């Protein structure tokens, strides 16, 4: 039979190991794959974006708007001023190599929606015709 002292000692050891493993798991989540960076949307969804997308006007505008709205973060994640459905749509446009006109329309709709939200008119604009 195991003594009470030994059981308490084992339990404390397992608690320390469990805490350490939780910290490792949460830390590894923040690390991006090679050639990618991580951003979050306003609804908390995480996106891993390839570095090559930094040349795209949509991503540049999203990062500019994020800096304008949330400021420069030095110790936290980058949060973009859009929800996850917009981000999925933007990524699909980038992947399909949308024309410059379509990219400008998407950026324009984002900027227009942001200005309506700041004025208290929570309206959504949709881009159709693809």
Short-list 55, 60, 54, CA closest to 37: 54
- Cβ atoms of 60 and 54 closer than 8 Å: yes
CB proximity list for 63: less than 8 A, separation 6 or greater? 78, 80
Tell whether the torsion through CA atoms of 104, 109, 113 and 115 is positive or negative. positive
Per-residue pLDDT of 32-60, as tens digits, reads: 678 888 999 989 999 999 999 999 999 99
Question: How far apart, in whole angstroms, are the C-alpha atoms of residue 128 and residue 117?
Answer: 21
What global pTM score does this model have?
A: 0.61
Give the percent of the chain with pLDDT over 90.
Answer: 22
């Amino acid at each position: 039979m195991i003594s009470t002292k030994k059981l308490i000692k084992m339990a404390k050891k397992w608690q320390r190991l469990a805490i350490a493993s939780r910290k490792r798991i949460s830390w590894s989540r923040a690390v991006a794959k090679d050639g990618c960076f991580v951003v979050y949307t306003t609804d908390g969804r995480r996106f891993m974006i390839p570095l090559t997308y930094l040349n795209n006007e949509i991503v540049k505008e999203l990062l500019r708007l994020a800096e304008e709205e949330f400021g420069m973060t030095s110790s936290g994640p980058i949060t973009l001023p859009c929800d996850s459905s917009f981000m999925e749509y933007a990524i699909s446009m980038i992947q399909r190599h949308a024309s410059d006109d379509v990219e400008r329309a998407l950026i324009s709709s984002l900027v227009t929606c942001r200005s309506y939200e700041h004025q208290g008119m929570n309206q959504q604009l949709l881009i159709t015709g693809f």
